[in-house]
Amino acid sequence: MTHSATQITYVVTPGGRLTGTVRVPGDKSISHRSVMFASLAEGISEVTGFLTGEDCFCTMKAFQQMGVQIERLGETHLRVHGVGLRGLKAPSAPLDMGNSGTAMRLMCGLLAGQPFASTLTGDASLSKRPMKRVIGPLAQMGAEIAAQEGRAPLVISPAKGGLKALRYASPVASAQVKSCVLLAGLYADGLTEVTEPEASRDHTERMLRAFGVAVEGRAGYAAVRGGQSLKATGIEVPADISSAAFFLVGAAIAPGSDVTLTEVGMNPTRVGIVTILKAMGASIEVSNQRLLGDEPVADLRVRGGALKGIAIGKDLVAAAIDEFPILFIAAACAEGETVVTGAEELRVKESDRIQTMVDGLVALGVCAVATPDGARITGGPVGGGTVDSHGDHRVAMSFAMAALRATAPITILDCLNVNTSFPGFAELARKAGLQLTVQG
């Protein structure tokens, strides 16, 4: 892991509880897509609630490099002047996707159909992540993508003779793979179809429909016909359930906590965290359910109490894939054993999240064992100590919340990347009652 010149360390004092009303920043997945689809639309779209994280700014800059005019009307308010499906211009330099696997994989599909060449790059962590899973199906569609050992940088050349529609059976349930193939499908002749072993997030299908594209979709299946144009629309981005997850677990494990999270995205393909925490005995009340644009949202009130260990199997993994780091903390604070299986996908995230989390838990004196596709965690006292987040934003925030139940201070190294998904995390957590200081 290359450490950048600026190092940020979290030091969290043990104990305390979380209280109050919290609105976490906008959904990262939806923010990326809002800029991509608004850029490809005909007309002017406005986006509110946009996540001001570094990853989403990378996506924004990429489209500006390809000739799209994007104005910031406020902190989280964008106006995007769409250029239409075929209106992008060749970028004069590589497009840097920062730390975001979502951005890189979706852009790969979108750029495969362009008449110009482009190069996608990313930071050290993103450059280690597997891209063969999108290069494979795109190549079957006729795309020309060069990559060393299936990793970034990705060099994309115009497809000779254009893209062909594909019926693709994805070996993994991955919204990123599915979305990549569907976006390429917009540039292909005929109907492009994707089937998956389990349902993955459907943000792409929902948002394409909001932009006027006919998309067929059901659990484990999505299809789009090529050549459809996108029409400008307004997008309201809900609060990110993956960011809300840290406060959900923090409040659930700390006695006396009482937190209400507002406007949280409750897309059925993303609510695994709520299902799992309720199964562990957490007190979570869901209220004020409504639609924000095409996405369901609700307010979540969570109160501290006793949790119990459970078995978490493959059926729940896809709907909570990004929330597993903080779920490992819930497991460490639960009575009995929690067994996670079917989650091998966690090994190819921003870090090997299974190993990174287990190593951190063991450093804090928790009984945890990594398995090839998950972990076994026995709840018990959480001690203090030093944990290396390996530059993984979700790991850093998870161990910060663990301090609510720790017996001594927890020091977390390499926390700079928290800004990629949750700008302002430290301030918001402190306001809610976490005793966190930032060094560096």
Same domain, 367 and 405: yes
Same domain, 206 and 246: no
Q: Of 180, 214, 236, which residue is a domain's last? A: 236
Q: Which residues contact 417 (CB under 8 A, 6 or more apart)?
A: 99, 125, 350, 389, 391, 392, 393, 396
* For residue 1, pLDDT beyond 50: no
pLDDT tens digit string along 303-332?
Answer: 999 999 999 999 899 889 999 999 999 999
Q: Of 214, 236, 258, which residue is a domain's last? A: 236
Banded pLDDT at 349 (limits 50, 70, 90): confident
Q: Does residue 4 lie in a domain region?
A: no
Same domain, 229 and 287: no
* Domain extent for 326: 9-26+238-439
Report pTM.
0.93
Q: Of 220, 236, 252, which residue is a domain's last? A: 236
Same domain, 257 and 150: no
Q: Does residue 132 lie in a domain region?
A: yes
Both tokens of 358, joined, read 């287990």
Banded pLDDT at 293 (limits 50, 70, 90): confident
Same domain, 35 and 162: yes
Share of the chain above pLDDT 90, in %: 94
Q: What is the mean pLDDT of residues 153-169?
A: 97
Reference 412, options 13, 6, 4; nearest CA is 13
Same domain, 215 and 253: no
Per-residue DSSP letters for 157-200?
EPPTT-EE--EEE-SS--HHHHHHHHHHHTTEESEEEEE-SS--
Banded pLDDT at 421 (limits 50, 70, 90): confident
- Is 322 an active-site residue? yes
Q: What is the mean pLDDT of residues 336-347?
A: 95
Q: Is 43 left (phi over 0), alpha (psi -120 to 50) or beta?
A: left
The active-site residue out of 55, 322, 388, 392 is 322
Q: What is the mean pLDDT of residues 125-143?
A: 96
What's the structural domain count of the chain?
A: 2
Banded pLDDT at 261 (limits 50, 70, 90): very high
Same domain, 305 and 232: no
Q: What is the mean pLDDT of residues 204-226?
A: 97
CATH number at residue 246: 3.65.10.10
Banded pLDDT at 429 (limits 50, 70, 90): very high
Same domain, 232 and 327: no
Same domain, 17 and 102: no
